[in-house]
Structure 1
Amino acid sequence: MNVDIQPALVRDRFFPRSRQTVRAARVFAAETLHAWGVTCRRDDVSLCVSELATNALLHGVPPGRHYRLRMLLFDGTVRVEVADSGGGRPRVADRDPGADGGRGLLLVAAVADRWGTAERRPGKVVWCEFALGPGA
């Protein structure tokens, strides 16, 4: 029996440790979705790219290092991965409602269809996925 399995489309880029790269990461994500012809969930992907890149910069990228944004398209799903070389295991934390920050993963969990973490040496990968509707 022949099964037609489509390979994943993959694009990735490295970004230096700088807050200015969060905007560049969003632009890269938007360009990638456009190149793939993905017309839905762009705002959701952009928000999650911003939050994951910001978290990598604040908690996972040591001075002089970088983070990698990797995007994959497979089986009607867009996957966003942000890899850094920092330690720790990201988690959604309870935050003081009056706090200025600390809601990044809470937003990712609310907007993405799935999210999680994976170990890498050194560091970790935080990922999220977005199911695309028919004809996306």
Structure 2
Amino acid sequence: MVETGAGPMPAYTETLPRSAESARRARRLVRLALNVWGLTGVQDTAELVVSELLTNAVLHARRDQARVTVVRLGEGRVRVAVVDLSKDCPAPRAAGGGAESGRGLGIVEELSGGRWGVDPLPWGKRVWATLGPEVEPGE
């Protein structure tokens, strides 16, 4: 369980080495959580988003590990997040046509419908994205 503004929510979390190989383990964690919760409709999207968020941490953070969390928000929605120990906040940037990087946050923006953000933490930051159906105001 993870405490959120809406109270405790079911969650899966794992601390991973800050290496390219950890993206596979992060996708596996997301797949496990979504299968358990019966939320396979957002599985492909969530796996891609967590890969992009973790890849950003691998490329830009300065410490040896990152923490991946998948939180069930209810009504078919989940939040995937990556915490690293860098206080540098990511910002979307334009990638040139032949560039091999620079598209990750644009992908996260598109797949989450703009429902992503960065939470500064005393020791670093949490970059997260909410996936699944949008909640209407008042729900």
On whether the aligned pair clears a TM of 0.5, the verdict is yes
Q: In the alignment, which residue of structure 2 is the partner of 1:71?
A: 70
TM-score (normalizing by structure 2): 0.84
Greater RCO, CA 8 A, separation 6+ = 1
Q: In the alignment, which residue of structure 2 is the partner of 1:16?
A: 17
Q: In the alignment, which residue of structure 1 is the partner of 2:44?
A: 43
- Map 1:28-39 onto structure 2 (within 5 A): 28-39=29-40
Deviation per CA, 1:8-65: give whole Å up to 9, x if none: 1111110012211111110111011111111211111010010001001110142xx2
Stretches of structure 1 that go unaligned for 5 or more consecutive residues are none
Whole-Å separation in 2 of the counterparts to 1:48 and 1:122? 23
Whole-Å separation in 2 of the counterparts to 1:26 and 1:17? 14
- The reply on whether 1:98 has 2:80 as its aligned counterpart is no
Root-mean-square deviation over aligned CA pairs: 1.7
Q: Does structure 2 retain, via aligned residues, the 8 Å contact 1:52–1:82?
A: yes
Amino acid of the structure 2 residue aligned with 1:71: V
Following superposition, the deviation at residue 80 of structure 1 comes to 0.6
Q: Does structure 1 retain, via aligned residues, the 8 Å contact 2:70–2:78?
A: yes
Q: Does structure 2 retain, via aligned residues, the 8 Å contact 1:15–1:21?
A: yes
Q: In the alignment, which residue of structure 2 is the partner of 1:128?
A: 129
Q: In the alignment, which residue of structure 1 is the partner of 2:137?
A: none
Whole-Å separation in 2 of the counterparts to 1:109 and 1:61? 24
Structure 1 runs of 4+ off > 4 angstroms? none
Q: Which has the larger radius of gyration?
A: 1
Q: In the alignment, which residue of structure 1 is the partner of 2:116?
A: 115
CA change 1:61–1:40 in 2 (3 A) is farther
Task: State the identity %.
Answer: 34
TM-score (normalizing by structure 1): 0.86
Whole-Å separation in 1 of the counterparts to 2:21 and 2:85? 19
Deviation per CA, 1:40-93: give whole Å up to 9, x if none: 11111010010001001110142xx21000111123220011000013111111
Following superposition, the deviation at residue 6 of structure 1 comes to 7.7
